[in-house]
Amino acid sequence: MKSIRKWFDNGETNFSAQSADTADAGIDWLRVIPFIVLHLACLAVFIVGVSSVAVVTAVVLYIVRMFAITAFYHRYFAHKAFKTSRPVQFVFALIGASATQRGPLWWAAHHRQHHRHADQAADPHSPKQGFLWSHMGWFLSGKHYQADYRLVPDWQRFAELRWLDRFDLTVPVLLAVALFIFGMLLERFAPGLGTNGWQMLVWGYFISTVVLLHATLLINSMAHRVGKKRYQTGDESRNNFVLALLTLGEGWHNNHHHYPVSARQGFYWWEVDFSYYVLKLMQKAGLIWDVKTVPLDKRESKKIFNEAGV
């Protein structure tokens, strides 16, 4: 019953690093039933079929929520790479929460722990512990169900962020319901689009979310295994162009580990970083400010190879 209750209310446990050391590293299968259902629900696509409007909805939600994860959950909440107002902070925390990747405090705390101990024993998701562990086993275990919230004292003072962490399933459920209702309305008022509530739910929420989730997790598992190392960082982080495209810029992971506080992870003009481009537009609009980028001397330091490849 405790595991089932945690589907809806995680509590506000101040989970310390010491208690994490003694927590069960095994999979809590009852607690992760929603994660399993999320994947199995994608198979309903063979029942609901496909339409252009459903696919477009899935793609748009993938891009918008990926941006919220990369630009705000990661670059803002984990690394404070720029500043913004409390309303904008909450809006993108809300969008990030809809990605079904837990709350912003949980996400940032684990990521800060990762940078403190990258590819060491205390790293929550080092590939040295196996691909499946680094990809998804770590967050399905009791060991990492809670986070060391002492690592995010800067964000704990915001009640709305704590609420998103505690009731992290609420926003994804509301998104799923909204998509179902949207599909029903389209079926009634725009039948020519060939969609309905169930189709919009499967494509807009389940398929879009599963692809988004695993694209994000590939940074943990693949970006520490496959790619090129430009910098000596003391870990196995790599730059990977394909992952950068999938994640709107997060694939420049070795760059990121070299200088984590930069809002721009593609350090050179040819390193595509869509999240940074959108952040620049937001900066011009006055929505964010004090956007940090890598200084030239830092960019050129500790290189394994120069840009000529030698």
Asked whether residue 94 is assigned to any structural domain, the reply reads: yes
Q: Looking up tokens 């919009």, which residue turns up?
A: 200
Asked whether residue 76 is assigned to any structural domain, the reply reads: yes
Mean pLDDT of 115-126: 87
Question: What percent of the chain clears pLDDT 70, i.e. is strictly above it?
Answer: 91
The C-alpha atoms of residue 134 and residue 140 are separated, in whole angstroms, by: 11
Asked whether residue 172 is assigned to any structural domain, the reply reads: yes
Tokens of 308: 């000529």
Asked whether residue 286 is assigned to any structural domain, the reply reads: no
What tens digit of pLDDT does each residue of 5-40 get?
A: 666 777 755 544 445 555 666 777 777 888 899 999
In whole numbers, what is the pLDDT of the chain averaged over residues? 91
The whole-number pLDDT of residue 4 equals 65
What tens digit of pLDDT does each residue of 171-212 get?
A: 999 999 999 999 999 999 999 999 999 999 999 999 999 999
Contacts (Cβ under 8 Å, ≥6 apart) of 265: 75, 244, 249, 250, 252, 253, 255, 256, 271, 273, 275, 276
Mean pLDDT of 252-281: 97
Asked whether residue 283 is assigned to any structural domain, the reply reads: no
Mean pLDDT of 75-101: 98
Give the predicted TM-score (pTM) of the model: 0.93
Asked whether residue 134 is assigned to any structural domain, the reply reads: yes
The C-alpha atoms of residue 41 and residue 47 are separated, in whole angstroms, by: 11
Q: Are 99 and 212 in contact (CB under 8 A)?
A: yes
310 against 189, higher pLDDT:
189
Asked whether residue 273 is assigned to any structural domain, the reply reads: no
- The domain of 213 spans 34-228
The whole-number pLDDT of residue 141 equals 83
91 against 309, higher pLDDT:
91
Asked whether residue 304 is assigned to any structural domain, the reply reads: no
The whole-number pLDDT of residue 123 equals 85
Three-point CA angle 113, 137, 214, nearest 5°: 90
Torsion sign, CA atoms 121, 126, 129, 135 = positive
Please tell me the total count of domains within the chain.
1
225 against 146, higher pLDDT:
225
